[in-house]
Amino acid sequence: MARYAREVAVVAFAQSDHLRRTDELSEVEMVMPVLHQVLAATGLKAGEIGFTCSGSSDYLAGRAFSFTMTLDGVGAWPPISESHVEMDGAWALYEAWVKIQTGEADTALVYSYGKSSPGSVRDVLTRQLDPYYVAPLWPDSVALAALQAQALIDAGETDEAGLAAIGARSRASAGANPHAQLSGAVAQGEYQVAPLRTGDCPPIGDGAAAVILAAGDVARRLCERPAWITGIDHRIEAHSLGLRDLTDSPSTRIAAEHAGVFEAPVDTAELHAPFSSQEVVLRKALGLAGDVAVNPSGGALAANPMMAAGLIRIGEAAARIHRGESDRAVAHATSGPCLQQNLVAVLEGDRA
Amino acid sequence: MSTTGKEPVAIVGIGQTKHVAARHDVSIAGLVREAAARALADAELTWADIDAVVIGKAPDFFEGVMMPELYLADALGAVGKPMLRVHTAGSVGGSTALVASNLVAARVHRTVLTLAFEKQSESNAMWGLSLPVPFQQPLLAGAGGFFAPHVRAYMRRTGAPDTVGSLVAYKDRRNALKNPYAHLHEHDITLEKVQASPMLWDPIRYSETCPSSDGACAMILTDRAGAARSPKPPAWVHGGAMRSEPTLFAGKDFVSPQAGKDCAADVYRQAGITDPRREIDAVEMYVPFSWYEPMWLENLGFADEGEGWKLTEAGVTELDGDLPVNPSGGVLSTNPIGASGMIRFAEAALQVRGQAGEHQVPDARRAMGHAYGGGAQFFAMWLVGAEQPGS
């Protein structure tokens, strides 16, 4: 644990049920039960938390400063020490982890959420591409992922049957996850954009998640078996797809090296791979052995609430450690087209 | 690795673009790279010396690019590095600098590039803030419509004469003439012209409001070892904090929000300041509408409640007064929204480095950078000094 100044652990995790539509819920209403649940798990009140950080996207909400209203769900009075990243909640967790490392806070509340249902998320995501040369062409997220999938097939890294098996395994695993949007035997379906079929693509849905971080003895007091973050790092790559080898993820590999993934075997991997083909890329970058439990929660192919799905990977990995089902897990989050930006965390439980 | 206390954080490079209404000559990527390259040149460092990038801006709808950090990774030399994107409404420029500062203070990274920008000419900020949302109150006619009633409440509460706002605008616009990066350079400005400008949102006149700017601001933050190599005197972070409170609730004091008071108190505690009015030499304060200078003088503890306007009226906040506020010309002269908070932080650092040029406050040793956002609900502040903390 000498890598950082302080020992920090995930001590609680909660998530909503992920649903195709939540027309009846505002974002505050979607977030509040999750916040209450994660606080109740530790016995902490919002006012006792040292630092709060959230992740979300105005583009999903369809309005500027959308997070300012959602903050009300925390019950932010008296004033709190608080920040926000316009990113997946995994990066909000990273900012909170840094804050605890400075010694200015001993605990942190991290939450994130996204409602994709009010708009067309495939169209919305085109707005995160180069605004002058690429976005005006409206290339959608499934088409871009299909380019990556075809590159993998052309390179001999996988085939359509291999991709289908990833989707089937994910949704079978999700049978044990009451929050998942899709689970069980789901038909592989028609091509969305060849070579990707419906079963290779994530469901579109709404959801929220929250995590509590704590340092050292505070963590031991709040949680029977804390999930210690023994390493965490994130890296970004060039934006243009023409500048990248889509069959590889060097940013994941660099982040994994800095997080210490390769220093000892892992037994669990929660990977934020919204498309089946992306799991192939990530397995290779992380050097995962065949016996590692990959996405036992079902992963993003079973539920992919935008801006929360990455934080959920960290939460699911931590929850397995809390339950004694894992001793050393790797959690991964991604952002941007075709795995442009990647975060990797190593979570470990104290050995008996 | 030491577990005793934080690593001291130094600001060794600062870069800004010349802020203007529209930079038609550069893309968003070109704009941010210009500021970052100037900060690197100031620090005499190269892209290879940077361990991580922390970027901030106000809502993505202002340029119409969702999560622009993805597209900007190449332009900011971030490929292969960590890149974080902060968004805390109008306070974001300050929050972004604080997140970058924490990376160094926590000894996670040694040298960090932080940058904030807005290219308002790419879109329309009024439209970006006015998307209708069912079941929620609209923000009224832009930010001025939201803040005007709170200014009126301040005037009523303190008995301030209605001439104070124009004094602030006249001062800041004159200060801007000494700052080559400021957007508005009104060489023929007079107090009479400010007072004769059209009333926009009573009591806020046209010349008492911020402009709409394109611009970017960047800083290089580093640890003790990095500061020792710095070719120019660094500024040191003595304290930094963020505080938030809800937009609307029955007990909220819009004239002097509790979050602002708490944030300032935290910064003063960290920096060992007990009498801010006496111990701080210059303040870069987020004043988008002129009346916010006297209001924030009270909120930040520079004046007792009801007394802020008297400091302004007596000339205390003038460039040659004993508590200069916004020697750079402030937000009233330059407002690339997402960058405005970072410009306050950077200008405070320039003052204690003695690098502020014509708008330098003589012998400034400690300076404060202040930012706020949303419905006066998000606050970010730092206090920087010429000396390394604890030395």
Q: What ipTM was reported for this prediction? A: 0.98
Percent of chain B past pLDDT 70, that is, above it, reads: 96
Calculate how close chain A gets to B387, using CA atoms only, in Å. Answer: 21
Contacts of B266 in chain A (CB under 8 A): 81
Both tokens assigned to A341:
């930006």
Contacts of B119 in chain A (CB under 8 A): none
**Cβ within 8 Å of residue A337, ≥6 positions away:** A125, A128, A129, A141, A144, A239, A241, B70
- Report the pLDDT value the prediction gives residue B340, as an integer from 0 to 100: 98
* B66/A125 Cβ within 8 A: yes
Instruction: Nearest chain B residue to A81 by CA: give it.
Output: B243
- Helices within chain A (DSSP H only): 27-42, 58-61, 66-70, 89-101, 121-126, 141-154, 160-173, 216-222, 250-259, 276-286, 309-322
Contacts of A237 in chain B (CB under 8 A): 73, 79-80
Q: Is the Cβ–Cβ distance between B96 and B86 less than 8 Å? A: yes
Residue type, A11: V
- Which of A32, A102, A134 should be substituted to probe chain B, the one whose Cβ sees the most B Cβ atoms within 10 Å? A102
List pLDDT tens digits, range B5-15: 899 999 999 99
- Which of B62, B71, B121 should be substituted to probe chain A, the one whose Cβ sees the most A Cβ atoms within 10 Å? B71
pLDDT higher than threshold 60 for residue A1: no
> Given B85, B107, B262, which is nearest A85 (Cβ)?
B85
- Report the pLDDT value the prediction gives residue A3, as an integer from 0 to 100: 81
Which CA distances in Å does B38 have to A31, A268, B31, B215, B337? Answer: 42, 45, 11, 13, 20
- Report the pLDDT value the prediction gives residue A326, as an integer from 0 to 100: 98
- Report the pLDDT value the prediction gives residue B143, as an integer from 0 to 100: 78
Residue showing tokens 């704009």: B31
Instruction: Nearest chain B residue to A234 by CA: give it.
Output: B82
List pLDDT tens digits, range A30-59: 999 999 999 999 999 999 999 999 999 999
Question: What residue ranges of chain B have pLDDT lower than 70?
Answer: 1-4, 131-142
Both tokens assigned to A326:
């894992």
Instruction: Nearest chain B residue to A25 by CA: give it.
Output: B135
* B378/A4 Cβ within 8 A: no
Contacts of B98 in chain A (CB under 8 A): 83
Instruction: Nearest chain B residue to A131 by CA: give it.
Output: B65
Give pTM, 2 decimals.
0.97
> Given A3, A72, A235, which is nearest B80 (Cβ)?
A235
Contacts of A68 in chain B (CB under 8 A): 89, 247, 374-375, 377-378
Contacts of A106 in chain B (CB under 8 A): none
Q: Which residue in A45, A49, A68 sits closest to A58, CA to CA? A: A68
Residue A125, SS3 per DSSP:
helix
* B64/A125 Cβ within 8 A: no
CA torsion through residues B282, B245, A105, B91, sign = negative
Contacts of A235 in chain B (CB under 8 A): 80-82
- Alpha-carbon distance of B217 to B16, in angstroms, equals 4
Q: Is the Cβ–Cβ distance between B291 and B309 less than 8 Å? A: no
A-to-B residue pairs, Cβ atoms closer than 8 angstroms: 199
Contacts of B6 in chain A (CB under 8 A): 102-104
- Report the pLDDT value the prediction gives residue B2, as an integer from 0 to 100: 41
* B105/A102 Cβ within 8 A: yes
Rounded mean pLDDT of chain A? 96
Calculate how close chain A gets to B255, using CA atoms only, in Å. Answer: 16
Calculate how close chain B gets to A130, using CA atoms only, in Å. Answer: 5
- Which of B55, B69, B139 should be substituted to probe chain A, the one whose Cβ sees the most A Cβ atoms within 10 Å? B69
* B28/A101 Cβ within 8 A: no
Both tokens assigned to B241:
């904090």
Instruction: Nearest chain B residue to A2 by CA: give it.
Output: B1
* B258/A79 Cβ within 8 A: yes
Calculate how close chain A gets to B24, using CA atoms only, in Å. Answer: 13
> Given B28, B65, B84, which is nearest A85 (Cβ)?
B84
Instruction: Nearest chain A residue to B64 by CA: give it.
Output: A127
Which CA distances in Å does B380 have to A63, B4, B316? Answer: 23, 25, 24
What's the per-residue H, E or C state across chain B?
CCCCCCCCCEEEEEEECCCECCCCCCCHHHHHHHHHHHHHHHHCCCHHHCCEEEEECCCHHHCCCCCCHHHHCCCCCCECCCEEEECECECHHHHHHHHHHHHHHCCCCCEEEEEEEEEHHHCCHHHHCCCCCCCCCCCCCHHHHHHHHHHHHHHHHHCCCCCHHHHHHHHHHHHHCCCCCCCCCCCCCCHHHHHHCCEEECCEEHHHECCCCEEEEEEEEECHHHHHCCCCCCEEEEEEEEEECCCCCCCCCCCCCHHHHHHHHHHHHHHCCCCHHHHCCEEECCCCECCHHHHHHHHCCCCCCCCHHHHHHCCCCCCCCCCCECCCCHHHHCCCHHHHHHHHHHHHHHHHHCCCHHHCCCCCCEEEEEEEECCCCEEEEEEEECCCCCC
* A83/B242 Cβ within 8 A: yes
- Report the pLDDT value the prediction gives residue B139, as an integer from 0 to 100: 54
* A65/B374 Cβ within 8 A: yes
- Report the pLDDT value the prediction gives residue A69, as an integer from 0 to 100: 86
A259: exposed, middle or buried (C-beta count within 10 Å: 0-12, 13-18, 19+)?
buried
Q: Is the Cβ–Cβ distance between A255 and A344 less than 8 Å? A: yes
* B88/A84 Cβ within 8 A: yes
Over residues A67-96, mean pLDDT = 95
Q: Which residue in A347, A350, A348 sits closest to A93, CA to CA? A: A347
Instruction: Nearest chain B residue to A338 by CA: give it.
Output: B70
- Which of A63, A232, A233, A344 should be substituted to probe chain B, the one whose Cβ sees the most B Cβ atoms within 10 Å? A63
- Report the pLDDT value the prediction gives residue B355, as an integer from 0 to 100: 98
> Given B70, B80, B88, which is nearest A239 (Cβ)?
B70
* B102/A99 Cβ within 8 A: yes
- Alpha-carbon distance of B343 to B224, in angstroms, equals 23
> Given A52, A102, A239, which is nearest B74 (Cβ)?
A239
List pLDDT tens digits, range B242-285: 999 998 888 899 999 999 999 999 999 999 999 999 999 999 99
List pLDDT tens digits, range B72-113: 999 999 999 999 999 999 999 999 999 999 999 999 999 999
- Report the pLDDT value the prediction gives residue B145, as an integer from 0 to 100: 81
**Cβ within 8 Å of residue A197, ≥6 positions away:** A160, A164, A188, A189, A190, A191
> Given A71, A99, A124, which is nearest B246 (Cβ)?
A71
